[in-house]
Amino acid sequence: MRYFLFALGLLGLLASAHAQSTAILEGNVRVAGTATPLQGAHVILEELAQGTTTDAKGRFQLANLPAGTYTLTVRFLGFVPYRQAILLQAGVTTQLTIILEEQTVSLGEIVVAASGLPQSRTDVAASVGLLRQEAMASVGALHPAELLNRLAGVWLMTPTGEGHLTAIRQPLTTEPVYLYLENGVPIRSTGFFNHNALYEVNLPQAEAVEVIKGPGTALYGSDAIGAVVNVSTPPAPDRPLLQGKVEGGSYGYGRALLSAGTRIGAHRVRMDANVTRTDGWREATRYARQSVVARWDWGRAGNRARLSTVVSFSHIDQNPAGSSALSAEDFERNPRLNYTPISYRRVWAFRLSAAYAYQTARSRLELTPYVRYNITELLPNWSLAFDPAIWDLRHRSLGLMVRYHHELQPERLRLTSGIDLESSPGSHFEQRVRATRQGKIFTAYTLADTLYDYYVTFWQAAPYAQLEVRPLQPLEFSLGLRLDWARYDYDNRLSVVTTGRHRRAPDTSRAFVHASPKLGWVYRLDRSLTLFGSYRHAFRVPSEGQLFRQGATSNTTHLAPVRADQFELGIRGALWSDWLAYELVGYQLEKRNDIVSYVDAQGVSQVGNVGRTRHRGLELSLRLKPTEAFQLEAAWSYTGQWYVSWETAPQSNLSGNELELAPRVLASLVLSYTPSFWRGSLLLFEWRRVGSYWMDAANTVRYEGYHVANMRLNLPLHSRVSLSGRVLNLWNRRYAERATYHPVRGSELSPAMPRSIYLSLQYHF
């Protein structure tokens, strides 16, 4: 018995010695703002690869830990990851209270478009441009170009009103190579693309804009070749909100913005309204818009279920419908002239989406049904001289986006899978007009016969999966695959026509199936330096207009999807405690099967998949903040874009030429000053450079490009009242927003607005 008692005593001494040589870590995890316990949060000591999850009261404990210094990570889907270095001492119990912040796009450099979940931009294997609400508010943009042109490699051209042509890793184009989203939901159906899609969004009152440059991730399918642009609406507020802003300026410009919202229990509501009008600085270029966005958010912090419902409506009425280019002589002598005052564009855009999310400690299920309705009526000015017609384009959509995130192994393995479903019936009606012209000016028109009247339904089903793997703590891979099935059912309401300039195909259906692989990697050399790279494939099914508005082509229903492959390599980081932040990216994008209009050997106009282009570039973004008062943001890009294979006529082969409307250099500087002697004030100086480019595909005439400067000033007059002003085109330079050359008509230039001045008064409660 005494030997047994001696053994027990010896074991007790050993256990006591072991307890004194090991440490215990315990604590609780709560939600910021409400102190709600967070059940199921992952608590991990990275160096030991040891962890646990919190219980129903948010508590956790890790025992028998070797003494030392470790990195503690706490993660929960939908919250900002918490990371802290902690010292564990032998025989000591360390207690912590950890507060997790809900993750939204307004926090730092958080983005959501790349993976569907909030994540740091430094963790994304792609170049993502980000504009947050603070920057957008300081700009008070009249046009999306004033915002997006701040990003490296981005050029939006302003034709008239809020229309836009876009160049992101592509030349300036109206082709369907961009995907525009609102809260992750496409603004328009793939089958009914419109290059002006951003004017259907209430951008001045948005929360953030993200631009994924180049092909999209596995989450996005057709359209996402040049870029994915995601506009986020602001969440409903936790406290009562009332904010109004009135603006006035040159050329009869006026705008009123109103925001209001509140919270009642678990329900939060918000409404944003935008009413804008201008006479236009050129003849017959008036513009008006009315937009309303209403949002209802349901759910409390820490709840597993959330619901966010957004209703958007925009009405746009503008003259003319296009860029209204002038001859070189009129550009210099009378830039206010407008050759096409009778042209117009009227748009009605309605969208409703309800994003439901249910999340556990290791998974998140998202269901987003949506409906949309679009009407576009226009008399386009670009065809008045050779094919004048009034267009009536309509489509409505019913869709469902299902997405599921699951952490198979916390911090090591995450799977995102889902499916996009959509049905979009629409119509295309086109009526010939007889236009009257006096000299260069089109003054009136009368209606004539119907050219096209057809009904088409676009169907889409697209499952996808994306796997994020972290084999080592600093290294992460992402692999994705998306399978798109798309179909058009076309019903011609007129007779079949097989000859002439306006041929019409018989009733038909056309289906497309395409797989898009993606691969990316991120390597964190340290907390302030990251390398990343990716290969991304993208495609674009022909739009309904390309397939069924046949024109003089003998057959257009045979067209195949445009395909693109991009390789990208980049480095991003910060120096001297974030005094300097930078990102440098190099890429090559090759586009094949491009849809080209050409003339065959018999002299007949045709459309076919015979184009191949190559796009290479470097993009540099810098942010310098040497003092609290001064900040400098710089963006620069250098690109080379060529026709690899492009034959538009038997004796007109453009292969080897540079693409027109593709400047090699884009640059911008934004210098901001926030003086300490006037809290809340801000002075901004902006400089923008668009380099020279070829005006025609034959590379015979070159435009020298331009540079322009703007000034902005924001002054708080009271705790609730602020005054702001801006001067655009500060040096009053005459330049062309877009310059092209035609062998018969010569140079055609779209004049930019001269110096203009605007003042606004804002009240915030």
Helix (H) or strand (E) holding 17: helix 2-21
Distance (Å, rounded) from C-alpha 356 to C-alpha 742?
52
* Residue numbers of the chain with a pLDDT score lower than 70: 1-21, 33-34, 47, 49, 77-78, 102-108, 301-302, 410-411, 599-605, 650-651
Contact indicator for 430, 450 with CB cutoff of 8 Å: yes
Comparing CA positions, the residue from 58, 381, 19, 420 lying closest to residue 219 is 420
Q: Which domains does the chain have, with CATH numbers?
A: 2-100 (2.60.40.10), 110-231 (2.170.130.10), 232-764 (2.40.170.20)
Count of positions (residues) in the chain: 765
The reported pLDDT for the residue numbered 473 is 80
- pLDDT score at 11: 38
Predicted pLDDT of residue 10: 42
Cα gap 697→659, rounded to integer Å:
6
639, 616 in Cβ contact below 8 A?
Answer: yes
Residue-level pLDDT at 603? 63
Q: Which H/E stretch holds residue 430? A: strand 413-438
Q: Residue for token digits 């117009």?
A: 344
Question: What's residue 7's pLDDT?
Answer: 44
Which of 599, 568, 601 has its CA nearest to residue 585?
568
pTM (2 d.p.): 0.87
486, 190 Cβ separation under 8 angstroms:
yes
Distance between CA atoms of residues 608 and 611, nearest Å = 8
Are 314 and 339 within 8 A, CB to CB? no
The pLDDT score that the predictor gives to residue 108 is: 45
pLDDT at 764: 85
Output the pLDDT for position 671. 96
- 8 Å CB contact between 486 and 458: yes
What is the pLDDT at residue 42? Answer: 78
- Give the residue among 242, 153, 78 at the shortest CA–CA distance from 585: 153
Report d(CA 125, CA 534) in Å as an integer. Answer: 6
With CA atoms as reference, report the closest residue to 187 among 376, 45, 454, 366.
376
Residue 3 has a pLDDT of 43
pLDDT value of position 34? 65
Strand partners, 725: 713, 759
**What DSSP state is assigned to residue 124?**
-
The string over 514-541, giving b where at least 16 C-beta atoms fall within 10 Å of a residue's C-beta and e elsewhere, is bebebbbbbbbeeeeebbbbbebbbbbb
pLDDT of residue 107: 38
The per-residue pLDDT for range 458-512, each reduced to its tens digit, is 999 999 999 999 888 889 999 999 999 999 999 999 999 999 889 999 999 999 9
3-state secondary structure 137-150: HHHCCCCHHHHHCC
Rounded Cα–Cα distance for residues 391 and 347 (Å): 12
Give the DSSP H/E element, type plus range, for residue 328: helix 328-333
Output the pLDDT for position 602.
Answer: 63
Question: How far is residue 663's CA from residue 692's CA, in Å, rounded to a whole number?
Answer: 5
Residue 395 C-alpha from the chain's centroid: 22
DSSP lists the bridge partners of residue 30 as 37, 99
Residue 277's identity, in one-letter code, is R
Check residue 123 and give its pLDDT. Answer: 84
pLDDT, position 301: 62
Tell me the average pLDDT of the chain: 89
- d(Cα 689, Cα 661) in Å, to the nearest integer? 14
Contacts of 246 (CB under 8 A, 6+ apart): 254, 255, 256, 257, 760, 761
